[in-house]
Amino acid sequence: MSKILITCAVTGSIHTPSMSPYLPYKPQDIAAQAIDAATAGAAILHLHARDPDTGRPSADAAHFMEFLPTIGAGCDAVVNLSTGGSAVMTLDQRLAGAMRAEPEMCSLNMGSMNFALYPMAARQADWRFDWEEPFLTGTDDLVFKNTPRDIAHVLREMGEKRGARFEFECYDTGHLTMLRHFADRGLVKPPIFIQFVFGVLGGMAAEAENLIHMKRLADRYFGDDYLFSVLAAGRAQMPMATMAAGMGGHVRVGLEDSLFIARGKLARSNAEQVEKIRALVEGLGREVASPDEARAMLGLKGVDKVAF
Ligand code: KMH
Ligand code: ZN
């Protein structure tokens, strides 16, 4: 088996500050936790921006630029910027940070879908900021829009024009079909890095059978041209990632995907989750890839070609 890529998704746009005091949203905290996660073994850092005062997911390129230079100076991990942003943003807003920073990697969500966060609001008693509760409850009538035209736009703007490669986020089998379609159109080229996403309400559930089925389909659609990684939102984060590692896949952890380190116990940092998954995958005999090994495995343009 190849060396294993650990991605850490440091803050995301799903969890809100009231849910955990350890969720970073100020630029210095995002940077510090990202660097610590890289030191712990994450070769790739998946990043979103947040408003530094309220923690609200932000589409402002300036907010990305408040932490990206610090991360670039503090570690050599691959920076992977979200183009998913948050489902309340337009596609242009979602692309603003990546267009400005020209990272080596971007996320790309392979289909429109429901992305229902409102059950989390029902579990929260107290709120630190006014935006949090309506942000979550409003997802009962919100579509996370990623049409074929949107996908083509991101592939052209970030891929063809700016040399980024992608974390293709697939939440269902249909997203693999769409990815194959874009490979057939020549807009997606190997090596194709696919993130199987489990446990989002609106996407596939975090179940072993689903992972086996996604891998079987991806083998059929992409043969030797792809690598897969697994992220599972919520409590299945570590078990599903460990299963992926045992199947020769790669893993993603981080507070974007789960706030916990064990049942009922909040993770105190992103690095704590990276340390945990690292021990699990090393226990399975997998060796962790360095950032430069990740660059070679994924065909990245190089850290000297980013704009931060
Ligand atoms: N929050 C994850 C479930 C993106 O940033 O493009 C999906 C995600 C989306 O990471
Ligand atoms: Zn994300």
pLDDT tens-digit readout, 158-180? 999 999 999 999 999 999 999 99
CA angle 280, 283, 287 (to 5 degrees): 90
Average pLDDT of span 268-284: 98
pLDDT band at 10 (very low <50, low <70, confident <90, very high): very high
pLDDT tens digits for range 241-275:
999 999 999 999 999 999 999 999 999 999 999 99
Report residue 117 as tokens: 């966060």
Domains of the chain: 6-305 (3.20.20.70)
Q: Tell me what the mean pLDDT of segment 106-110 comes to.
A: 98
The pLDDT value recorded for residue 1 is 82
* Whole-angstrom distance, CA of residue 231 vs CA of residue 114: 18
Distance between first and last Cα of the chain: 34
Mean pLDDT of the chain: 98
For the stretch 97-107, pLDDT in tens is 999 999 999 99
Looking at residue 155, its pLDDT comes to 98
How many whole angstroms separate alpha carbon 95 and alpha carbon 89?
10
Q: Which residues contact 4 (CB under 8 A, 6 or more apart)?
A: 245, 250, 251, 281, 286, 287, 288, 289
Q: Does the pTM of the predicted model rise above 0.95?
A: yes
DSSP 188: S
Q: Are 13 and 85 in contact (CB under 8 A)?
A: yes
Tokens at residue 128, please? 């630190």
What per-residue confidence (pLDDT) applies to 244? 98
**CA nearest to 59, candidates 93, 25, 88, 92:** 93
Of 50, 166, 169, which is best to mutate to test ligand 1, by the most ligand atoms within 8 angstroms of its C-beta? 169
In the chain, the percentage of residues whose pLDDT exceeds 90 is: 100
Ligand 1 neighbours, Cβ below 6 Å, are 9, 12, 14, 82-84, 107, 109, 169, 197, 200, 233, 256
| pLDDT given for residue 41 in this prediction | 98
53: pLDDT confidence band, cut at 50, 70 and 90?
Answer: very high
Q: Look-up: residue for tokens 């936790």? A: 33
Starting from the CA of residue 10, give the closest ligand: 2
Atom of ligand 1 nearest to the CA of 203: 3
Q: Whose CA is nearest to atom 8 of ligand 1?
A: 84
H/E segment holding residue 253: strand 250-253
Q: What is the pLDDT of residue 59?
A: 92
